Each structure stands twice: as structure tokens, then as C-alpha cells.
Amino acid sequence: MAELSFKDFASDQEVRWCPGCGDYSILKAVQRALASCGADPANTVFVSGIGCAARLPYYIESYGFHTIHGRAPAIATGVKLANPELNVWVITGDGDGLSIGGNHLLHALRRNIDLNILLFNNEIYGLTKGQYSPTSRIGTTSPSSPGGSVDNPVRPGAFAVGAGATFIARGIDIDQKGLPDILTAARAHRGAAFVEILQNCIVYNKDVFDSVSSRKTASDHQIRVEHGQPLLYGPDQDKGLRLNTKTLQLEAVQVGAQGIDEVLIHDETNPTLALMLLNLAPPLPTAIGVIHRRQAEPFEQAFWNAKPRERRQRVVTLLHQGNLVDHRQSASSESAADFR
């Protein structure tokens, strides 16, 4: 088969996001990942809820189901249960996935159903014109919070750890090198894979991730994690993370001064470390990459394993179970006039 290109996964639909929206880059990263895995469009399904993010399925050349607000994980669960052969993706936003649909996301993750769930986190309700969302930082000014939002934001990754997710990653919209790799890893994972993608809503929450994503500041503000490698960051990889055993918290160390020995080695199978990494907040760097991954039996394995065989006979047997009364010998059919 000829090498696939990302263009092979572009549908015939005109993309309608705002110019400069981070969703464009994510779309391209998804298409790149699909091409690099040699995905079969006929066996690939994108299920989304409602929001700017949720429009993505229209733009990908595969099966796509744009559903209702917050319910994509539930609908995708039905798709996967009905046909485990399919490669099923869920596209959701911070409002869609963690506000109205938080319950479904929780259950998809804890069941560990084999879905690839991409949450586009722009910390705002884009489609409804910019109200603050459950991931908006305190103080976010928006049409519904002109004086700044006051409620505590939820951290998507920490939520996923709490739900018992077996794969948790974080990526950045414009990272065309790193993001396709994360998506490829999510696709390869058997079970629910959760990827939070930091996405720039250029219209309503411009550049909230700028320090993490822009070339100039990224090296100090993001830490790329890799299983088995020391947790290092900084322009010259000269900073590291270590565990303060008194506070049970991660803290930064200067590699030169205190040596590299104290720096933690990333263990993606450890959910406790994952929680710490996912909760890192400035001045500590934002963790990017596959932060947690462990093997566990996916939900649908237990499901359609009994393929119906001799189905009609099975149904006939079921009909004849229970408390049988056979009137075939005893009654005469003439006297049955008033009967059913």
C-alpha cells in the first residue's frame, strides 16, 4: 500500500473554525497520526458532542457522528460495544466533556472501554461565545463573569486519574511533532485513552497557554515526560523534578548544583506520580507527553464474546421455558370460541 498522507484523511467539507484557532492544528495532527498508523477510514469512527471542538468529525475522511452536548462518551460506548472491531475516537471540549458530560467521561474512563478520547481544553465555552468554563482559571473575565470567575477549575488530567484512567496524556495544539506521536500512542492503547490537548481559542481566551506553548518560553514552562527517562526541563535540560519526601510534593532542582541523582525517573505506570505531574502548576512546568499508561482488561472484551449460534433454536427454547401448560390434548377447539 502506498504511504498515506494527512491529506487522505481530509473530508470534502470546508473547515469553518475561526482563522488562527488551535483546532486547525489539532485537526492536522489527528490526520497525521491516522496517516502514520495507516488507519482504515472505513473502520475509523469519530464521535463528538457539541462545541467548536466537536465539529472536527465533519472534517475527517472517516465515519463521523456529531451528537449532542456532553454525551459523546456514552454514544461512543454503544458504537464500540456494537462493533469492537472499530477504532473509535471521542472529540470533546472542556465544557462538553467536563461540564455537561462529566458523568459520562468518568464512566467511560473507569470502565476502560477502548476509546481514544481527545479533550480540547481552551478553558472557555467557545461555541456559545466565550463564557467561562469548568477549566477556566479563577479570575477569567467573560460575558458571564465580567468581574472574573470565582469557581475553582477542574484539572482534566487529575480528574482522569481519579476515574481510574489507564492512559493519560497531555499535548499542545501547535506541537506538530509531539502531538501526532501522543495520538498514535493513544490509538495503540487498549482501553480508554484520555488526551488533554491545550488549545488556543484565539477569539475568546487568546493565548492562555502562551507561556507553555510559545517557542520562547516553552522550555522553562513545559516538561516533556518519557517513560524511564529523568524528569528534566529548561533550555539546557538543566532543571529537574524531585520528590520532597517531607511535603510529598514535586519540586524543582538545578541539575548542575545538586546532581542528577535526585531527579525522578518517569514511571508512566505509577498513578501517584501521574497525579503529581498532572497537578504541576507555575512556577513549576506543565507536563506534556504520555503521563500515565498501564495495561488493564478493556471493558468490551467481556461483551459480545458469545456470538449467537443457532439463534432461532435458542429463541424457540426461550419461548418454551417457564411454567408450561399443554392444552393440546385436553381441550376441544370448538369450545374455545371466546378465546384468544
Partner 1 sequence: MPQQLAEKNSHVVRFAGDSGDGIQLQGQQFTIASALAGHDLSTLPDFPAEIRAPAGTRYGVSAFQIQFGGERITTPGDTPDVLLAFNPAALTVNLPHLAPGALIIVDDSAFSAQRLRRAELTANPLEDGSLNDFNVCRVDISHLTLEAVKPFGLGAKDSARCKNFWALGLVLWMFDQSRDAAARWIQAKFANHEAVRNANLAALAAGHAYGETAELQHVLSQHPIPEAPLESVAYRTITGAEALALGLTAAGELSDTELLFCSYPITPASALLHHLTGLEEAGVATFQAEDEIAAVGAAIGASYAGKLGVTSSSGPGIALKTEALGLAVAAELPLVVVNSQRAGPSTGMPTKTEQSDLYQAVYGRNADTPVPVLATRSPADCFATAIEAVRIALRHMTPVILLTDGYIANASELWPIPDIDAFQPIANRKPTAATAGGVWEREADSLARLWAVPGDARHIHRVGGIEKDIETGHISYDPANHQAMTDLRAAKVAKVADHLPEQAIEQGVPGGLAVVAWGSTFGAVYQAVKEALSDGLAVAQIHLRHLNPLPPNLGELLAGFAAVLVPELNSGQLATLLRDRLLIEVAQLNQVSGQPFPVAAVKAAIAEHAPVRLVEARRKEAANSGASKRIRRG
Residues in touch with ligand TPP (CB under 6 A):
50-53, 69, 93-96, 120, 122, 124-128, 133
15 near ligand SF4, rule: CB under 6 A: no
Show Cβ contacts of residue 193 under 8 Å, excluding neighbours closer than 6 positions: 115, 116, 117, 166, 167, 169, 185, 186, 187
18 binds, among ligand TPP, Mg ion, ligand SF4, none (CB under 5 to 8 A by kind): ligand SF4
18 near ligand SF4, rule: CB under 6 A: yes
Give the three-class secondary structure for 126. Answer: coil
Site for ligand SF4 in 38-67 (CB under 6 A): 52
Instruction: Give the chain's length.
Output: 340
Helix/strand/coil (H/E/C) assignment for every residue in 245-304: CCCCEEEEEEHHHHCCCCCCECCCCCHHHHHHHHCCCCCCCEEEEEEEECCCCCHHHHCC
Cβ proximity of 36 and 9 under 8 Å: no
Q: Which of the ranges 33-41, 197-205, 244-252, 270-278 carries the binding residues for ligand SF4, by CB under 6 A?
A: 197-205
95 near ligand SF4, rule: CB under 6 A: no
Q: Provide, rounded to whole angstroms, the least separation between the CB of residue 110 and partner 1.
A: 9
257 binds, among ligand TPP, partner 1, ligand SF4, none (CB under 5 to 8 A by kind): none
38 near partner 1, rule: CB under 8 A: no
Cβ proximity of 45 and 62 under 8 Å: yes
190 binds, among partner 1, ligand SF4, ligand TPP, none (CB under 5 to 8 A by kind): none
Residues paired with residue 46 on neighbouring β-strands, in sequence order: 64, 89
Do the strands 87-93 and 44-48 form a parallel or antiparallel pair, or are they unpaired? parallel
Burial class (CB in 10 A: 0-12, 13-18, 19+), 35: middle
21 near ligand SF4, rule: CB under 6 A: yes
47 near partner 1, rule: CB under 8 A: yes
Give the residue carrying C-alpha cell 472505513: 42
17 near ligand SF4, rule: CB under 6 A: yes
Q: Which of the ranges 15-23, 213-221, 286-294, 296-304 carries the binding residues for ligand SF4, by CB under 6 A?
A: 15-23
Q: Which spans in 112-258 are helix H? A: 156-162, 178-188, 210-213, 215-221, 255-258
Residue with Cβ nearer ligand TPP (124 or 276): 124
62 near partner 1, rule: CB under 8 A: yes
Site for ligand SF4 in 101-130 (CB under 6 A): 122, 126
Residue of 4, 10, 15, 202 that binds ligand SF4 (CB under 6 A):
202
CA-to-CA distance for 76 and 89, rounded, in angstroms? 8
- Residues interacting with Mg ion, by CB under 5 A? 93-94, 122, 126
Residues of the shown chain interacting with ligand SF4 in the complex, contacts defined by CB under 6 A: 17-18, 21, 23, 52, 122, 126, 201-204
